[in-house]
């Protein structure tokens, strides 16, 4: 066994630290009180994100959990129901926020790596009868984190949106890693395609602190009236910030500099997945659409023990359930680190 002195952190794309250039942009930020909508950096960031997807307005918030939960609170009333996949972040990883903050119930769909069909939506909308919770929102996740960074087939996504609206439901996108999905589809620089994508949703949550490498921040986009209501909900949830342009500036830097390069993260993820298949404890990996690799381990291999062993050998990663390990690539990885990890995984 080789002991690599190299350490690569593949636990999550949230571990990135703001680069010198990003910090430089933050240093120059002009700020103002954002609760009064007077922070020029935040206003510019909100407008840029909204315009990118053909939306009217945007709202800068501290986290993706907050942008998702605000959207759910605005789209639903207590006692109503949200349709989402069983793997969705809004259901699994937001502290039960849907029940706690919006008083809404959830109808979980049994999709394919987080993706579902228009037929699934149709057959899970409750009848308009006082016995049932009123279904009011459909939430999609692209890429789906727990689905291994899976991306939606665009025609399927369009159809889900069309049918949801036909049924009178609002549509929300958890786009924590939307830019990864757009780069994987090759449409991230195609303004028309981005507008067509955005037209599927009444609201979209976009994270700056994942693949884009910002220290903090998410933007919620939607119509003027949706964002006006979201502004109120943000205040209620305690997310109204003051001179936060200092962090919004990092977002502006990231939109200009860190989107195209996501392709590098995707190709590194594919290389790591292929190398891991040579490891005696690994049977397979889930399809690698973007920057997440989910390795399935052989029967009897303890994922906790194996991820710790890899950690001691310089590959920091997370166990992802009893028989899986997850890698997430990001902009703080280097080619040397990826080479070292591939060498370790395939030569053990």
Ligand X SMILES: *Cc1c(COP(=O)(O)O)cnc(C)c1O
Q: Is there a contact between 219 and 251 (Cβ–Cβ < 8 Å)? A: yes
> Residue 66 Cβ, how far from ligand X at the closest point, in Å?
7
Show contacts with ligand X in window 78-107 (CB under 6 A): 89
Beta strand extents in 208-245 (DSSP E only): 218-222
- Using the minimum distance from each CB to ligand X, give the nearer residue, 313 or 319: 319
The span from the CA of 290 to the CA of 94, in Å, is: 23
> Residue 328 Cβ, how far from ligand X at the closest point, in Å?
10
Give CA torsion, residues 107, 112, 115, 121, to 10 deg: -40
Residue whose CB is nearest to ligand X in the complex, by number:
64
21-29, 31-39, 57-65, 300-308 -> range binding ligand X (CB under 6 A):
57-65
- Using the minimum distance from each CB to ligand X, give the nearer residue, 14 or 346: 14
- Written as six digits, the tokens of 204 are 């979209």
Beta strand extents in the chain (DSSP E only): 8-9, 57-61, 81-85, 105-109, 135-141, 170-175, 203-207, 218-222, 282-285, 292-297, 315-316, 318-319, 324-328
> Residue 14 Cβ, how far from ligand X at the closest point, in Å?
7
- Using the minimum distance from each CB to ligand X, give the nearer residue, 78 or 95: 95
Applying CB under 6 A, does 265 fall inside the site for ligand X?
no
59-67, 100-108, 191-199, 253-261 -> range binding ligand X (CB under 6 A):
59-67
Q: How many residues does the chain have?
A: 348
> Residue 126 Cβ, how far from ligand X at the closest point, in Å?
25
Count of residues engaged in binding ligand X, rule: CB under 6 A: 13
Binding mask 117-156 for ligand X (x = CB under 6 A): ------------------------x---x-----------
Of 292, 323, 285, residue with least CA distance to 305:
323
Among 64, 222, 245, 314, binds ligand X (CB under 6 A): 64
Binding mask 200-239 for ligand X (x = CB under 6 A): -------x-xx-------x---------------------
Among 65, 135, 171, 303, binds ligand X (CB under 6 A): 65
Show contacts with ligand X in window 2-21 (CB under 6 A): none
- Using the minimum distance from each CB to ligand X, give the nearer residue, 174 or 289: 174
Using CB atoms within 10 Å of the CB of residue 179, give its burial: 0 to 12 exposed, 13 to 18 middle, 19+ buried: buried
> Residue 176 Cβ, how far from ligand X at the closest point, in Å?
3
- Provide the CA 211 distance to its chain's centre, in angstroms: 9
Show contacts with ligand X in window 168-207 (CB under 6 A): 174, 176, 207
- State the residue for tokens 């949106």: 161
**With b meaning 16 or more CB within 10 Å and e meaning fewer, what string describes 89-100?**
bbbeebeebbee
At CA 113, angle to CA 110 and CA 304, rounded to 5? 110
Residues of this chain that interact with ligand X (CB under 6 A) are 63-65, 68, 89, 141, 145, 174, 176, 207, 209-210, 218
């Amino acid at each position: 066994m080789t002991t690599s002195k190299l350490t690569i952190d593949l636990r999550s794309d949230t571990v990135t630290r703001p680069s010198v250039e990003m910090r430089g942009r933050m240093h120059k930020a002009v700020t103002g009180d954002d609760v009064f909508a007077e922070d020029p950096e935040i206003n510019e960031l909100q407008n840029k994100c909204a315009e990118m997807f053909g939306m009217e307005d945007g709202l800068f918030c501290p986290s993706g959990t907050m942008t998702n939960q605000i959207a759910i609170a605005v789209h639903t009333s207590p006692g109503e129901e949200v349709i989402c996949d069983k793997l969705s972040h809004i259901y699994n990883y937001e502290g039960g926020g849907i029940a706690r903050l919006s008083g809404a119930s959830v109808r979980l769909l049994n999709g394919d790596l987080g993706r579902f069909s228009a037929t699934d939506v149709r057959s899970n909308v409750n009848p308009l009868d006082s016995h049932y919770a009123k279904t009011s929102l459909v939430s999609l996740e692209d890429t789906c984190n727990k689905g291994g960074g899976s991306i939606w087939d665009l025609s399927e996504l369009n159809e889900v949106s069309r049918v949801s609206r036909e049924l009178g439901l609002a549509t929300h996108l958890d786009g924590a890693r939307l830019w990864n999905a757009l780069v994987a589809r090759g449409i991230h620089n195609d303004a028309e395609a981005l507008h067509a994508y955005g037209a599927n949703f009444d609201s979209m949550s976009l994270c700056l602190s994942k693949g884009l490498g910002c220290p903090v921040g998410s933007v919620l986009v939607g119509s003027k009236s949706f964002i006006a209501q979201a502004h109120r909900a943000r205040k209620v949830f305690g997310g109204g910030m003051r001179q936060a342009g200092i962090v919004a500036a990092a977002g502006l830097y990231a939109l200009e500099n860190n989107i195209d390069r996501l392709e590098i993260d995707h190709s590194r993820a594919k290389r790591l997945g292929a190398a891991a298949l040579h490891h005696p404890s690994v049977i397979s990996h889930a399809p690698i659409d973007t920057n997440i690799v989910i390795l399935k381990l052989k029967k009897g291999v303890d994922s906790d023990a194996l991820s710790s062993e890899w950690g001691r050998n310089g590959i920091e990663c997370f166990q992802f359930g009893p028989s899986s390990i997850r890698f997430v690539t990001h902009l703080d990885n280097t080619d040397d680190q990826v080479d070292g990890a591939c060498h370790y995984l395939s030569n053990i």
